[in-house]
């Protein structure tokens, strides 16, 4: 029988010994064996730091993002192979879609995120701070990639998504990864990594894989490394207490299984669309991945007067779930990932039954389509009822990681909020209501105890991704029992793998270091207008100081007539007593338009293709007729862009810092404008 291989130090290598047997979840047949025996984890981590890290840290955000995009496109060519292996884990086609194509979707999402970052290996973080009276000393924050390796210890339930959603973020940040999937389903992770490595898209050392026991892995992590863990809260706590992690102050992010809940609003009645939405959402969350999701609904809270009707409706919905071999098209719920997992779930259900009763499903029998009921890890959906949730702690403390959920009543929204908090921290929660006031009360009351809250109603249901779907650009994590961590989250997630360092100095020094122009830095004056320069020729700090222009009352009247903006402050005959102005004042947008007329070189074609936006526009001082204004126009930042197709014009994005001054040398307005600038021909 085949033994899984580990991809370490740039080559594929099997562990020593027989290893752990991995079984087909539907029939119990042995698929492969996994072993990390004899593997030197210390040298693996060193390889990532010494080989992978330098390669990635030299790449810019744009290059890393395009690398992720290329990887996603490559993996999409091998979907059929991945699906065939995924069925052996017990996942149906729909389950596998979430795991495989959802994981690849994370690569695409993070690839697109590159547009939020500069064309540099590092980036500025937040706002600049002027620290001196004469504008010669300032402070800022810089984010640079950590010089260690990201160690990802993943759960068995999403062997593809669990890996890709994490490495997408650390690779974009410029940090290599070692992935340690749960052994139970690691054969699917191995298949995906084989295609990643075969593609040659990632630089050497950027990704390593071990299939099997973690051994003494955590004993060798260092302060520049990052450890993430997804799995049970008890295992996460054990890993987090590792003496080496504490001694080295290694960042440890945990995303633990939690007792997530759903609430049916008191306003919802059986004839409403929201009622059907609620029933469908509970059924979906109980049966998708056979309930083996860290985000699955474990606690169902409904108004006490609707308890019996909800029980009946859920029983009817669950009875329509066909269970069996995932390769059969009629099957809607496959088996658990393995017999050990089934044993664990049934053990936890017995603990729940100490204060609850089983109202749907069977503990010892299930009708199976095209599967081996004896050797396969099949289990019926199990719906429990606990009528005293405030007094009974079991539903709020014990999780059966399978198709198991407990129905419980509440009397009012304050009680529903209290019950949701009794889970001691959750990854996500959902409230189904047609009343936004009820939704607001729940979100504000329960928000501190949940990483994500979904407000579900008829307006968003058709396009909603659902209760259990974490999204790449939103944080995935939660407080307390859920682990206290945050994964993904767009730019927020990237920052977990970067070191924030405060930098202080002159505006010119900070400009030189960051390659982003800072206010009051020295500019670079030239006889060549900046708009006449191609993208490659522009240098940060290239500057133009324009001629002056006199502002007249006639200008203001004409602009008001042209735009239709006859706000009282722009009209000469206004009585200005009690207003903020002395007399007729120029429109702010008029001043921005005049500024454009001053800095734009408009008489012949030039490399500037178009102006497509204005950021951070502020009007800082009123402008009255008689004022003379001029503009200081500076190249602030450059961001490279790739060609969309063969007909696209090679170009890059250039940001310009615009400062408008009056005759007193005071700024009357500032803004950042964005242009697309042509690259040199050829």
Q: Which of 242, 257, 272 is the last residue of a domain?
A: 257
In a domain, residue 76? The reply is yes
64 and 153 inside one domain? yes
Distances (CA, A) of 468 to 230, 234, 258, 281: 15, 22, 12, 9
CB atoms closer than 10 angstroms to residue 319: 11
Q: Which of 214, 231, 257 is the last residue of a domain?
A: 257
Q: Where are the alpha helices (DSSP H) in 489-548?
A: 491-495, 507-514
Q: Where are the alpha helices (DSSP H) in 113-214?
A: 161-173, 186-199
Once rounded to an integer, what is the mean pLDDT over residues 61-75?
A: 96
Give the total number of structural domains in the chain: 3
3-state class (DSSP) for residue 606: coil
Task: Give 594's contacts (C-beta < 8 A, 6+ positions apart).
Answer: 549, 551, 555, 629
202 and 350 inside one domain? no
Q: Where are the alpha helices (DSSP H) in 473-572?
A: 491-495, 507-514, 553-563
Once rounded to an integer, what is the mean pLDDT over residues 657-679?
A: 95
In a domain, residue 31? The reply is no
CA distance 646 to 673: 28
Q: Which domain holds residue 93?
A: 41-123+144-257
**For position 272, what pLDDT does the model report?**
95
290 and 148 inside one domain? no
For residue range 84-115, what is the model confidence (pLDDT) as tens digits?
Answer: 999 999 999 999 999 999 999 999 999 999 98
Phi first, then psi, for residue 489 (nearest 5°) are 80, 20
The CATH number for 431's domain is 3.40.309.10
606 and 625 inside one domain? yes
The CATH number for 230's domain is 3.40.605.10
Which residues on adjacent β-strands are paired with residue 619? 669
Once rounded to an integer, what is the mean pLDDT over residues 416-439?
A: 95
CA distance 300 to 404: 11
In a domain, residue 322? The reply is yes
**For position 372, what pLDDT does the model report?**
86
The string of DSSP codes covering 439-495 is: HHHHHHHHGGGBS-EEEE-TTTTTT---TT---TTSEEEESGGG-SEEEE-THHHHH
In a domain, residue 72? The reply is yes
Once rounded to an integer, what is the mean pLDDT over residues 221-233?
A: 92
541 and 624 inside one domain? yes
470 and 337 inside one domain? yes
pLDDT confidence bin for 67, thresholds 50/70/90: very high
Active site includes 294? yes
Share of the chain above pLDDT 70, in %: 100
Distances (CA, A) of 116 to 125, 438, 637: 12, 36, 13
Q: Are 227 and 203 in contact (CB under 8 A)?
A: no
For residue range 176-186, what is the model confidence (pLDDT) as tens digits?
Answer: 999 999 999 99
The string of DSSP codes covering 301-366 is: EEEGGGHHHHHHHHHHHHTT--BB-TTSTT-SB---S-HHHHHHHHHHHHHHTTT-EEEES-SS--
Choice among 120, 255, 274, 285 that is catalytic? 255
Which residues on adjacent β-strands are paired with residue 613? 674
**For position 526, what pLDDT does the model report?**
87
For residue range 402-425, what is the model confidence (pLDDT) as tens digits?
Answer: 999 999 999 999 999 999 999 999
The CATH number for 552's domain is 3.10.129.10
In a domain, residue 349? The reply is yes
Q: Report the Cα 608 to chain-centroid distance in Å.
A: 34
Burial (0-12, 13-18, 19+ Cβ within 10 Å), 473 = middle
For residue range 130-162, what is the model confidence (pLDDT) as tens digits?
Answer: 999 999 999 999 999 999 999 999 988 899 999
Task: Give 260's contacts (C-beta < 8 A, 6+ positions apart).
Answer: 295, 296, 297, 298, 299, 423, 426, 427, 428, 429, 467, 468
- Please name which of 167, 213, 160, 214 lies closest in space to residue 187, comparing C-alpha atoms: 160
CA distance 517 to 419: 52
104 and 236 inside one domain? yes
Which residues on adjacent β-strands are paired with residue 207? 177
109: its two tokens: 């999402």
In a domain, residue 166? The reply is yes
pLDDT confidence bin for 373, thresholds 50/70/90: confident
**For position 1, what pLDDT does the model report?**
64
In a domain, residue 494? The reply is no
For residue range 467-478, what is the model confidence (pLDDT) as tens digits?
Answer: 988 888 888 988
> Is pLDDT above 70 for 335?
yes
314 and 211 inside one domain? no
Once rounded to an integer, what is the mean pLDDT over residues 509-513?
A: 95
Q: Which of 406, 441, 475 is the last residue of a domain?
A: 475
Active site includes 635? no
Q: Report the Cα 550 to chain-centroid distance in Å.
A: 50
3-state class (DSSP) for residue 548: coil
pLDDT confidence bin for 238, thresholds 50/70/90: confident
* HSE-CB for 504 with a 13 A CA cutoff: 4
3-state class (DSSP) for residue 190: helix
Choice among 123, 294, 428, 635 that is catalytic? 294
For the chain, the average pLDDT equals 93
In a domain, residue 173? The reply is yes
394 and 452 inside one domain? yes
For residue range 1-47, what is the model confidence (pLDDT) as tens digits?
Answer: 688 999 999 999 988 888 899 998 888 899 999 999 889 999 999 99
CA distance 327 to 92: 7
624 and 543 inside one domain? yes
pTM, entire model: 0.91
**For position 570, what pLDDT does the model report?**
94
Find the radius of gyration of the CA atoms of the chain: 30
**For position 475, what pLDDT does the model report?**
86
**For position 485, what pLDDT does the model report?**
84
pLDDT confidence bin for 360, thresholds 50/70/90: very high
For residue range 529-575, what is the model confidence (pLDDT) as tens digits?
Answer: 999 999 999 999 999 999 999 999 999 999 999 999 999 999 999 99
pLDDT confidence bin for 371, thresholds 50/70/90: confident
CB atoms closer than 10 angstroms to residue 448: 10
CB atoms closer than 10 angstroms to residue 356: 23
3-state class (DSSP) for residue 274: helix
> Is pLDDT above 90 for 447?
yes
245 and 273 inside one domain? no
Phi first, then psi, for residue 61 (nearest 5°) are -60, -40
Task: State the sign of the Cα–Cα–Cα–Cα dihedral 170, 426, 285, 431.
Answer: negative
656 and 527 inside one domain? yes
pLDDT confidence bin for 671, thresholds 50/70/90: very high
Distances (CA, A) of 481 to 261, 426, 473, 478: 14, 7, 23, 8
CA distance 570 to 154: 63
**For position 195, what pLDDT does the model report?**
96
Largest Cα–Cα distance in the chain?
93
């Amino acid at each position: 029988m085949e033994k899984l291989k580990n991809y370490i130090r740039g080559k594929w290598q099997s562990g020593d010994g027989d290893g752990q047997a991995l079984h087909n979840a539907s029939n119990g047949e042995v698929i492969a064996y996994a072993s990390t025996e004899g593997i030197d984890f210390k040298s693996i981590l060193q390889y990532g730091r010494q080989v992978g890290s330098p390669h990635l840290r030299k790449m810019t955000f744009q290059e890393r993002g395009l690398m992720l995009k290329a990887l996603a496109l490559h993996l999409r060519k091998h979907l059929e192979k991945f699906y065939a292996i995924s069925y052996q884990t017990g996942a149906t086609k729909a389950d596998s879609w979430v795991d495989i194509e959802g994981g690849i979707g994370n690569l695409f999402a993070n690839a697109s995120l590159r547009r939020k970052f500069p064309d540099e290996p590092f980036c500025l973080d937040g706002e600049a701070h002027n620290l001196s009276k004469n504008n010669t000393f300032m402070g800022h924050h810089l984010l640079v990639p950590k010089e260690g390796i990201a160690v990802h210890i993943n759960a068995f339930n999403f062997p593809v998504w669990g890996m890709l959603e994490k490495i997408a973020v650390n690779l974009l940040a410029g940090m290599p990864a070692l992935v340690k999937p749960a052994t139970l389903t690691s054969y699917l992770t191995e298949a995906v990594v084989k295609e990643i490595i075969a593609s040659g898209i990632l630089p050497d050392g950027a990704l390593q894989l071990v299939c099997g026991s973690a051994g003494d892995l955590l004993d060798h992590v260092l302060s520049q490394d990052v450890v993430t863990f997804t799995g049970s809260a008890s295992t996460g706590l054990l890993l987090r207490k590792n003496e080496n992690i504490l001694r080295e102050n290694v960042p440890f992010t945990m995303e633990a299984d939690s007792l997530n809940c759903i609430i049916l609003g008191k306003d919802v009645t059986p004839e409403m669309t929201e009622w059907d939405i609620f029933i469908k959402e509970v059924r979906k969350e109980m049966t998708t991945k056979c309930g083996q999701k860290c985000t699955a609904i474990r606690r169902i809270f409904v108004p006490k007067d609707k308890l019996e009707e909800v029980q009946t409706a859920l029983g009817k919905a669950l009875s329509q779930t066909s269970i069996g071999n995932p390769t059969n098209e009629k099957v809607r719920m496959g088996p658990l990932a393995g017999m050990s997992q089934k044993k664990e779930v049934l053990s936890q259900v017995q603990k729940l039954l100490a204060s609850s009763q089983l109202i749907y499903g069977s503990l010892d029998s299930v009708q199976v389509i095209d599967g081996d009921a004896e050797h396969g890890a099949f289990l019926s959906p199990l719906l429990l009822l606990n009528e005293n949730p405030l007094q009974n702690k079991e539903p709020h403390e014990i999780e059966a990681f399978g198709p198991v959920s407990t129905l419980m009543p509440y009397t009012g929204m304050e009680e529903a909020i209290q019950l949701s908090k009794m889970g001691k921290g959750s990854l996500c929660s959902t409230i189904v209501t047609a009343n936004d006031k009820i939704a607001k009360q729940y979100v504000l009351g329960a928000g501190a105890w949940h990483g994500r809250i979904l407000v579900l109603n008829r307006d968003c249901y058709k396009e909603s991704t659902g209760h259990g779907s974490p999204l790449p650009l939103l944080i995935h994590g939660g407080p307390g029992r859920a682990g206290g961590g945050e994964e993904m989250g767009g730019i927020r997630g990237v920052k977990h793998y970067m070191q924030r360092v405060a930098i202080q100095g002159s505006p010119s020094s900070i400009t030189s270091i960051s390659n982003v122009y800072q206010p009051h830095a020295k500019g670079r004056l030239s006889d060549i207008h900046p708009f006449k320069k191609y993208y490659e020729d522009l240098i940060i700090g290239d500057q133009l100081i324009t001629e002056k222009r006199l502002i007249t009352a006639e200008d203001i009247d004409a602009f008001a007539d042209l735009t239709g903006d006859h706000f009282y402050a722009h009209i000469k005959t206004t009585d200005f007593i009690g207003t903020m102005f002395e007399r007729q004042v120029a429109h702010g947008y008029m001043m921005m338009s005049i500024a454009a007329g001053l800095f734009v070189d408009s008489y012949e074609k030039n490399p500037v293709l178009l102006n497509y936006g204005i950021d951070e526009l502020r009007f800082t001082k009123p402008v009255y007729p008689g004022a003379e204004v001029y503009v200081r126009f500076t190249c602030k930042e450059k961001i490279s862009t790739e060609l969309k197709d063969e007909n696209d014009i090679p170009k890059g994005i250039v940001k310009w810092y615009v400062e408008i001054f009056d005759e007193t040398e005071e700024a009357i307005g500032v803004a950042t404008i964005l242009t697309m600038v042509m690259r040199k021909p050829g």
